[in-house]
Amino acid sequence: MPSQLNSRQRNVGILCQLALDTLAGMTQPPNIKTDVATFIDNQPLSRLQYLVIVLCGLVVMFDGLDTQVIGYLGPALSTEWNISRAQLGPVFSASQVGLVAGLLIIGALSDRIGRRLSIIVSVFLFAIFTLLTAFAQGVTDLMIYRLLAGIGLGGAMPNALALTGEYCPKRLRATLVIIMFCGFSLGSILGGIISTTFLDTLGWSWRSVFISGAVLPMLLLPVLWFKLPESLQFLMLDSTRKKQRQAKAALILHKISPLLAVTVDMDAQPQEIAKVPVTDLFTANRTRGTLMLWLVFFMNLMVFYFLQSWLPTLFTDTGLSQRSAVLMATLISVGGIVAGILSGPLMDRYNAYKVLAALYLGGAILVACIGIATPGTLALVTFAAGFCVSGGQKSVNALAVIFYPTYVRSTGVGWALGIGRFGSILGPVLAGWLLGWGWTTASLLQMAALPMLLATILIYMMGVSYAGNSEGQR
């Protein structure tokens, strides 16, 4: 009898253990073998993805602060150093020249060191040289430091855009990329607030504004170092350490969805592994779209940087105080933020090309109206022009992310921004020349409407060619 009882107890124990093992097995997360793009598209947004958007938004915000602040300080520099309007043009464009160099140098370097480190290096560079700008002793010093700071500014932008787009699911990509890029306009507004507060309220020198523009991104650097994740695309590129890359990518994806144990399928991502030459932007029926995008970026950035650089000075010429002129100019950025909030969901839900074409057409009309606006309507017209021009730039960035498929996305966005930077260089310089030749503010702004009109036509033509093409929407 005891032996029979012991046998029954053993059997019950075995059954209980089997039941516990079964329950334990049922609670274990399934192991999923996947490619990263499909995985991200099929998951809800996680804390890690929000963190990437916020950190990239802060990078772009300080980029916007350091890029735009020179325009707000134009009247102060002109007064202290007795600089003519024509001499201000090259000063405004110096950082834009550096931006082109940064796009080429750091853009190429990011394939070797990754987007995460490229962003950190870029922020460090523009913070250091912005700090040195505060100690410039003349126009030459100012232009050199602005050019060198521009290298960092140029490297930060495309990497932040690409990293954000990569961590966003397709269904929300335009919305989230535009929201992230609103940080640039927030930085511009912050620069205007700092400039008016330091110069007018506190009576400090313009040098204090550059110091603040350097300290803020320096404070962000340790946060980026410890919290910003590496680009998943970069992890797919290094063929020498496959197991380490798989482990890192799987860890990142586990943070996106902690309930799933993910194994990265390297073989499912052949397009992610290959290096992408710029010639790939002209394959698979992308030639016309790439060329039209380049022209649109050129036109949009030429007008945008003309407005950002010259409006404070032009407004002071019409009799506004320096404080009022700077605050009025910040309405361009305020309008851009409002447009970004509205245009992103519209681009995700409806025809992205039609949304952008409508913005550009409105920009062509409203930029021309700034020069003839009455004092009572100037703020409203400036805000509305910013809604279209600054909002259009945010939207065309998102359109480039949408237009190019994953494996050429960073190359496509980087080259579009690079070509556009030539417009950002030409805009302020050309305006300085025309003012030196006696052009009025009204005639200058009416001429600036023409590039926006051309951008409208180009985007409409892109919509006709590509709106129904899935290649341009992946």
pLDDT values of the chain reduced to their tens digit, one per residue, 474 residues: 454 545 555 544 544 443 444 344 434 344 445 567 777 888 888 899 999 999 999 999 999 898 888 878 877 888 888 877 677 778 877 887 888 888 778 876 776 778 899 999 999 999 999 999 999 988 889 999 999 999 998 888 888 988 898 888 878 887 888 889 888 888 988 988 898 899 888 878 889 999 999 999 999 999 999 999 988 877 776 555 666 777 777 788 878 877 766 666 555 554 444 455 678 888 888 899 999 999 999 999 999 988 888 888 888 877 888 788 888 888 998 998 899 888 888 888 888 899 999 999 999 999 999 988 888 899 999 999 999 999 998 899 889 878 887 667 767 887 888 888 888 888 888 888 888 888 888 899 999 999 999 999 999 999 988 866 544 444
Dist CA 429 CA 293 (whole Å): 23
List phi, psi (to 5°) of 50.
-60, -40
pLDDT of residue 90: 81
Dist CA 448 CA 435 (whole Å): 13
Asked if residue 15 belongs to a domain, the reply is no
Asked if residue 28 belongs to a domain, the reply is no
Domain span holding position 341: 33-473
Dist CA 273 CA 266 (whole Å): 9
| CA-CA-CA-CA dihedral for 78, 190, 332, 94, to nearest 10 | 50
pLDDT of residue 473: 42
- Answer for the pair 129, 148: CB distance below 8 angstroms, yes or no: yes
Q: Which two tokens stand for residue 290?
A: 């790439």
Q: How many residues does the chain have?
A: 474
Dist CA 213 CA 50 (whole Å): 25
Dist CA 296 CA 353 (whole Å): 12
Dist CA 90 CA 98 (whole Å): 12
Distances (CA, A) of 144 to 94, 96, 125, 140: 7, 12, 13, 6
Dist CA 64 CA 60 (whole Å): 6
Short-list 33, 95, 29, 43, CA closest to 68: 95
Contacts of 371 (CB under 8 A, 6+ apart): 440, 441, 442, 443, 444, 445, 446
Asked if residue 69 belongs to a domain, the reply is yes
pLDDT of residue 15: 42
Handedness of CA 146, 151, 155, 156 (dihedral sign): negative
Dist CA 429 CA 257 (whole Å): 50
Asked if residue 391 belongs to a domain, the reply is yes
Which CATH number is 301's domain given? 1.20.1250.20
Q: Are strands 31-34 and 261-264 parallel, antiparallel or unpaired?
A: parallel
| CA-CA-CA-CA dihedral for 128, 132, 133, 134, to nearest 10 | 110
Asked if residue 8 belongs to a domain, the reply is no
Dist CA 276 CA 409 (whole Å): 10
Contacts of 432 (CB under 8 A, 6+ apart): 85, 86, 87, 88, 89, 90, 92
- Answer for the pair 83, 91: CB distance below 8 angstroms, yes or no: yes
Dist CA 184 CA 291 (whole Å): 25
Task: Give pTM, 2 decimals.
Answer: 0.74
Q: Which helix (H) or strand (E) holds 113?
A: helix 85-113
Q: What letter represents residue 117's amino acid?
A: L
Q: Which two tokens stand for residue 83?
A: 């600089």
Question: How many domains, the chain?
Answer: 1
CA-based max dimension of the chain: 116
- Answer for the pair 430, 451: CB distance below 8 angstroms, yes or no: no
Q: Which helix (H) or strand (E) holds 261?
A: strand 261-264
Helix extents (H) in 259-286: 270-273
Dist CA 211 CA 102 (whole Å): 22
pLDDT of residue 39: 77
pLDDT of residue 414: 77
Residue 329: is it exposed, middle or buried by C-beta count within 10 angstroms (0-12/13-18/19+)?
buried
Q: Please state, as a whole number, how many other Cβ atoms lie within 10 Å of the Cβ of residue 377.
A: 13
- Answer for the pair 410, 233: CB distance below 8 angstroms, yes or no: yes
Asked if residue 119 belongs to a domain, the reply is yes
Asked if residue 24 belongs to a domain, the reply is no
Q: How many CA atoms lie within 13 A of 12 on its CB side?
A: 6
Asked if residue 19 belongs to a domain, the reply is no
